[in-house]
Amino acid sequence: MPLSHLLLALAVVFVWGTNFVVIRWGLDELPPFLFAALRFAFSVLPLALFVRRPPVGWRTLAAFGVLLGVGQFGLAFWAISAFIAPGLASLVVQSQVFFTIVLALVRDGERLAPLQWAALALAAAGVGVIGAHLDAHVSAFGLGLTLAAAFCWACANLVARSAGRVDALGFMVWSSLFGALPRAALSLGLDGPAAIAASLRGAGARAWGAVAWQAVGNTLFGYAAWNWLLARHPAATVTPMALLVPVFGMSAAALLLGEPMPGWKLLAAALVVAGLALNVVAGRAAARRAAPAA
C-alpha cells in the first residue's frame, strides 16, 4: 500500500475512533434523537442534489438507512448520552465484527474456523470483563444498548453486502434519508417541538461542529474513503487498520474527556482487540486456503 493510501486509512480510523468523543460533545447540547436526525439529514442534503442514486432498490436503501440510523447510531447516541462512557462505547461497538460472522453463519450456513471460535471467545471475555465492572461509567443498560447498536451495524453490513459493488458515496447519501426521517419522527414524538426548538436555538459552535463531523467526516468521508481503499487493495491489507478504532477512541476519551482507564478496562480492551486481530489472521488463513481452488 502506498504511503498516501496508508495515511488515508489512518485518517479514516482516526475519525472513526475520535468520533465517540465528538458524539459526547454534541450530546452536551443536543438530545440524542435530534442529534442523530441532524447527522443523517446533513448526510443527505445538499449532496442528494448532486450525487446520483445508485442502482439499488429502495428497499435495500431503506433497510440499510434504518439499521444504521435508527439502530446503530440511534442506540449508540442514546447509550453515550447517559449510560456508557465514550471510550468504552468505542470498544464494545467493535463486537459488530463477531455479530456479522454469526449472522452470516446463520443466514448463509458459513462455518467458523477454529481460530474464529477462539477470536469470538476472546472478544466475549472482554465484554464479560466490562459487564463485571458496572459503575458510573457503564451501566448494564448502557452495555446492552451498545451491544444492540453493534448488532444493528452487523445487520447493516449484510444488507450492504447484498447490494453488491455500488458507488459507496451515493449509497451512503441516499440511504441516509432513511436514517434521518425516522430519527426526526422519534425526536418529535419523544422530545417534543418545544424542546427541539430550544435545543436548536441554544446549540453553539461545538454542537454544530459535532453534527458536521458526524455527517461529513464520519459518514461521507469515512465510509467513502474506506470503500475507495477496499476497491484498490485486498481486504486483508485494509481491514486490519480498523483495529486502531478503539485505540484512538479510548485514547481520545482519556485525553479529552478525562475518562479513567483502570486496569480492568485495559484488560477488556486487550481481550477485544486480540479477538479482532485473531479474526483477521483467521480471514487471511482462509483466503490462502481458497486461493489454489480459485
Binned at pLDDT 50, 70 and 90, residue 235 comes out as low
**Distance between CA atoms of residues 246 and 248, nearest Å:** 5
* Reported pTM: 0.84
The per-residue pLDDT of the chain, averaged, comes to 85
Q: How confident is the model at residue 144, as a pLDDT? A: 94
What is the 3 state secondary structure string of 116-166? HHHHHHHHHHHHHHHHCCCECCECHHHHHHHHHHHHHHHHHHHHHHHHCCC
pLDDT tens, 166-190?
777 888 889 888 888 888 888 888 8
Read off the pLDDT band of 97 (50, 70, 90).
confident
**Domain regions of the chain by residue span:** 3-289
Q: Is the pLDDT of residue 236 over 80?
A: no
- What pLDDT, on a 0 to 100 scale, did the predictor assign at position 294? 45
pLDDT tens-place string over residues 192-215: 888 889 988 888 899 999 999 988
**pLDDT value, residue 163:** 80
3-state SS class at 234: coil
